[in-house]
Amino acid sequence: AAGQPLVVSTWDSGIIANKGAWPVLQRGGKAIDAVEQAGIAIENDINCCVGLGGNPDRDGRVTLDSCIMDDRFNCGSVAFLERIKHPVSVARKIMDTTPHVMLVGEGAQQFAVENGFVLESGKLSAGAQKTYRKWLEKSEYKPIINVENQKRPDAGGKGVFAPNKLDDGTPNHDTMGTVALDAAGNLSGMCTTSGMGFKMRGRVGDSPIIGAGLYVDNEVGAVTCSGQGEEVIRMCGSHLVVEFMRQGLAPKEACRRAIERIVKRDPLRAKEFQVGFIALNRQGEVGAFSVQPGFSYTITSATVSHQVYKSESYF
Ligand code: SD4
């Protein structure tokens, strides 16, 4: 509700994102500025999972996707962006200063450089180098089910579950999404990612797609997600959750219904991938739901201090 700002981000690493966003909300700032700061904070964190420190594509290059959306359906997005540290801010710049919503690849990079963003070296982080070298031994594209905050869950599936943290200490996911409600009662969101590790060159996931990895309707709520992007894109995942909330469902139930839709398409295959949604409605209620156990989210408000919650899951 108006007057009660709140920010919620995907995963345990949401603590880092929320710590970026909260000062903005606390001083009465706008949700759109808060979520951009959340993205910047997590893209700065070399130990996490997104931004230039993330895992590369199968050709060894890190390609970044991000989008941002405010309370008036303004949105900006970048995809397949290389060597730029803050894709979320490039997305914001596209939203604020161009007639377009989305720029990709070389054009997105050119736009970023023209707007003062530094062209970085493109060198892999130490962690990503190690993981990439290991991956090259077999060179199989086999997405690891994203989990955090728990040891190998036995969901009865055939998927490759990773332990809590990878060898180099990085969490096992590649995406961070944040949604926020500000003191004026307005909603905004952002999503930023290095995408599924070892993807084909040029592959773009759900994270920069408005309606898939992120959606905000200020009359209803704000939703973002993490997991296997292809499964989210085909169901317009985040938009779907917003529409379920519009029909009167509470945030968690809306997320559950969208996950059920995704699983229903191919329940057997669904045992092998992860998708997790987080939703925040305009009353400030938060909910989440995922395909697999191991999805988590972090809430920060005046009364909840960077608190991590486990999501309920389908399996
Ligand atoms: C993608 N949704 O590129 C992202 C990956 C992800 O935790 O969320 N990883 O499909």
Per-residue pLDDT of the chain (315 residues; tens, 9 = 90+): 456 999 999 999 999 999 999 999 999 999 999 999 999 999 998 777 799 999 999 999 999 999 999 999 999 999 999 999 999 999 999 999 999 999 999 999 999 999 999 999 999 998 899 989 998 998 888 777 776 644 333 333 333 333 334 444 456 788 999 999 999 999 999 999 999 999 999 999 999 999 999 999 999 999 999 999 999 999 999 999 999 999 999 999 999 999 999 999 999 999 999 999 999 999 999 999 999 999 999 999 999 999 999 999 999
Q: Which amino acid residue places its CA nearest to atom 3 of ligand 1?
A: 195
Query: Which residue reads 């894709």 in tokens?
Result: 87
Query: Which residue reads 């296997």 in tokens?
Result: 228
**ipTM higher than threshold 0.85:** yes
- Provide the CB-side half-sphere exposure for 175 (13 A, CA): 34
Q: Round to whole Å and give the CA distance between 109 and 94.
A: 12
Q: What is the pLDDT of residue 174?
A: 86
- For ligand 1, whether the C-beta of 237 sits within 6 Å is no
Query: Which residue reads 């690891």 in tokens?
Result: 144
Q: Round to whole Å and give the CA distance between 212 and 289.
A: 15
- For ligand 1, whether the C-beta of 197 sits within 6 Å is no
Q: What is the pLDDT of residue 139?
A: 87
- For ligand 1, whether the C-beta of 208 sits within 6 Å is no
Nearest ligand 1 atom, CA 173: 7
Q: What is the pLDDT of residue 89?
A: 98
Q: Give the residue numbers marked as catalytic.
A: 175
Q: What is the pTM of this model?
A: 0.93
Å from CA of 111 to ligand 1 middle? 24
The token pair at 281 is 């409605």
Residue partners of 312: CB distance under 8 A and separation at least 6: 252, 256, 288, 289, 290
Å from CA of 227 to ligand 1 middle? 5
Overall residue count recorded for the chain in this entry: 315
- Provide the CB-side half-sphere exposure for 168 (13 A, CA): 17
The token pair at 81 is 């962006």
Closest CA to 6 of 177, 178, 176, 180: 180
Return the best residue to mutate from 78, 175, 291 for the ligand 1 pocket (most ligand atoms within 8 A of CB): 175
The token pair at 160 is 């490759």
User: What backbone phi and psi angles, to 5 degrees, belong to 300?
Assistant: -135, 130
Q: What is the pLDDT of residue 2?
A: 55
Å from CA of 213 to ligand 1 middle? 9
Q: What is the pLDDT of residue 154?
A: 36
Exposed, middle or buried by CB within 10 Å (0-12, 13-18, 19+), for 250? middle
User: What backbone phi and psi angles, to 5 degrees, belong to 176?
Assistant: -130, 130
Return the best residue to mutate from 145, 226, 292, 311 for the ligand 1 pocket (most ligand atoms within 8 A of CB): 226
Q: What is the pLDDT of residue 144?
A: 74
Å from CA of 28 to ligand 1 middle? 31
Å from CA of 3 to ligand 1 middle? 33
Q: What is the pLDDT of residue 152?
A: 35
- For ligand 1, whether the C-beta of 231 sits within 6 Å is no
- For ligand 1, whether the C-beta of 192 sits within 6 Å is no
Closest CA to 181 of 70, 303, 55: 70
The token pair at 5 is 């700002």
Q: Round to whole Å and give the CA distance between 67 and 46.
A: 20
Residue partners of 175: CB distance under 8 A and separation at least 6: 10, 49, 50, 191, 192, 193, 195, 205, 207, 213, 226, 227
Nearest ligand 1 atom, CA 49: 7
Return the best residue to mutate from 57, 206, 278, 291 for the ligand 1 pocket (most ligand atoms within 8 A of CB): 206
